């Protein structure tokens, strides 16, 4: 996996249900390295820390490989990297292969694959239709959040080197489908709730789904 683009955002005000909402989803590429902190990316906007930022969602990665699919669905949008609100656009990121808990060295940072990304209304506003949320879930390639174990700088061209693979884990894709499928795979549920790379709240929520 290799970083194609590093992206940050300034606060942007949008209108949702006749109310002003501030968001950091309108990210654009940077021309210099960015610093991955343990709770967020330096000089990036995180407005709703209930759902973004923090230890288990310090930085969001999305695959460059998925851009052609979405450009085909929405050819009239103003396309650039950072379109999905990701801090890092990554070539070769495959959610069906990366495991929750995998630890990678990238740039001068040490990071761990953590949680999937669930789309919200802000993505719908950016794509000019809330239908994109259903499409995002159906398509199944959600990108991934990461924990930052060791803070550091990353830049375009940096590659991810696997330092320690997760044990008895599940892929980001399996986690994403587990969240949205009505019938829960009990084996995957057990792997998720025992995985310390996931936030305690998510693990507790998943425990309630064990038969």
User: What string of DSSP letters covers 135-165?
Assistant: HHHHH----EEEEEEE-EEE-TT-B-EEEE-
Q: What pLDDT, on a 0 to 100 scale, did the predictor assign at position 15?
A: 86
For the chain, residues with pLDDT lower than 50 are none
Question: Can you give the pTM of this predicted structure?
Answer: 0.92
Encode pLDDT of 158-176 as tens digits. 999 999 999 999 999 999 9
How far is residue 75's CA from residue 169's CA, in Å, rounded to a whole number? 37
Phi, psi of 4 (to 5 degrees): -90, -40
Q: What pLDDT, on a 0 to 100 scale, did the predictor assign at position 157?
A: 97
Encode pLDDT of 1-44 as tens digits. 999 999 999 999 988 888 888 898 999 999 899 999 999 999 88
Q: What pLDDT, on a 0 to 100 scale, did the predictor assign at position 131?
A: 96
Q: What pLDDT, on a 0 to 100 scale, did the predictor assign at position 17?
A: 86
How far is residue 130's CA from residue 30's CA, in Å, rounded to a whole number? 28
Q: What pLDDT, on a 0 to 100 scale, did the predictor assign at position 25?
A: 93
Sign of the torsion angle spanned by Cα atoms 105, 187, 178, 192: negative
Q: What pLDDT, on a 0 to 100 scale, did the predictor assign at position 211?
A: 67
Residues in the chain: 211
Q: What pLDDT, on a 0 to 100 scale, did the predictor assign at position 49?
A: 73
């Amino acid at each position: 996996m290799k970083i194609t683009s590093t992206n940050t955002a300034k606060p942007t005000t949008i209108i949702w249900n006749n109310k002003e909402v501030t968001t950091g989803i309108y990210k654009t590429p940077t021309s210099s390295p960015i610093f991955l902190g343990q709770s967020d990316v330096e000089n990036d906007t995180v407005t709703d820390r209930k759902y973004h930022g923090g230890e288990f969602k310090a930085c969001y990665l999305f695959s460059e490989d998925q851009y052609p699919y979405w450009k085909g669905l929405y050819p009239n949008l103003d396309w650039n990297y950072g379109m999905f609100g990701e801090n890092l656009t990554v070539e070769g990121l495959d959610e069906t292969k990366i495991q929750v808990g995998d630890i990678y060295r990238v740039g001068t940072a040490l990071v761990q694959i953590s949680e999937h990304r669930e789309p919200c209304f802000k993505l719908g506003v950016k794509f000019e239709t809330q239908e994109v949320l259903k499409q995002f879930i159906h398509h199944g390639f959600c990108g991934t959040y990461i924990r930052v174990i060791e803070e550091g700088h990353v830049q375009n061209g940096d590659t991810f080197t696997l330092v320690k693979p997760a044990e008895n884990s599940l892929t980001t894709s399996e986690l994403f489908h587990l969240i949205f499928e009505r019938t829960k795979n009990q084996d995957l549920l057990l792997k998720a709730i025992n995985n310390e790379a996931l936030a305690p709240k998510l693990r507790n929520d998943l425990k309630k789904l064990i038969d």
